[in-house]
Amino acid sequence: MLENKYQGIVVKLLKEAGAEILNLHGHAMQAPGWPDLYVAHRIWTGWIELKVDDNDLRPNQVRVVRALRERHVPVHVCRMDRDGEEWADDEPWFGTGIDRLEILKGMMP
């Protein structure tokens, strides 16, 4: 699955759950390293970076994610493989992470 298709699925589900989304992915004014989506919802607000397959975070993305987390700003990386299986990042420095479905469960009325 391509990242932009995965992003479309995530954005659609988040909006259906009542979230407002700021989509920075692929935007000409996107500062390097910033996550793809900013999600604002009454239950959860934070940043989401989407990755497909085993694409690694680029060094500038690691720097931004660490800087945000040091300031207690929620940031999660959600990954999906080519078969549509989803998992959260498990790199020790990255924290526990949550997947899209866990975010959505908490947002549903």
Closest by Cα among 25, 71, 28, 70 to 51: 25
Please check whether residue 86 is in contact with residue 78, taking contact to mean a CB–CB distance below 8 angstroms. yes
User: pLDDT 10s digit of each residue in the chain, 109 long?
Assistant: 677 788 888 888 888 888 999 988 766 666 788 999 999 988 888 998 888 777 788 899 999 999 998 998 988 887 776 666 555 544 433 333 444 555 555 555 5
Range of the domain at 38: 3-107
User: CA-to-CA distance for 70 and 2, rounded, in angstroms?
Assistant: 31
In this prediction the pTM is 0.74
Provide the pLDDT for residue 108: 53
**Packing angle, helices 3-16 and 100-107, rounded to 10:** 10
Computed over every residue of the chain, the mean pLDDT equals: 75
* CB-count burial class (<10 Å; 0-12, 13-18, 19+) for 38: middle
Angle at 48 between CA 61 and CA 68, to 5 degrees: 55
User: CA-to-CA distance for 34 and 38, rounded, in angstroms?
Assistant: 10
Domain count, the chain: 1
CATH label of the domain that carries residue 42: 3.40.1350.10
Provide the pLDDT for residue 109: 53
Residue entry with tokens 């699925």: 9
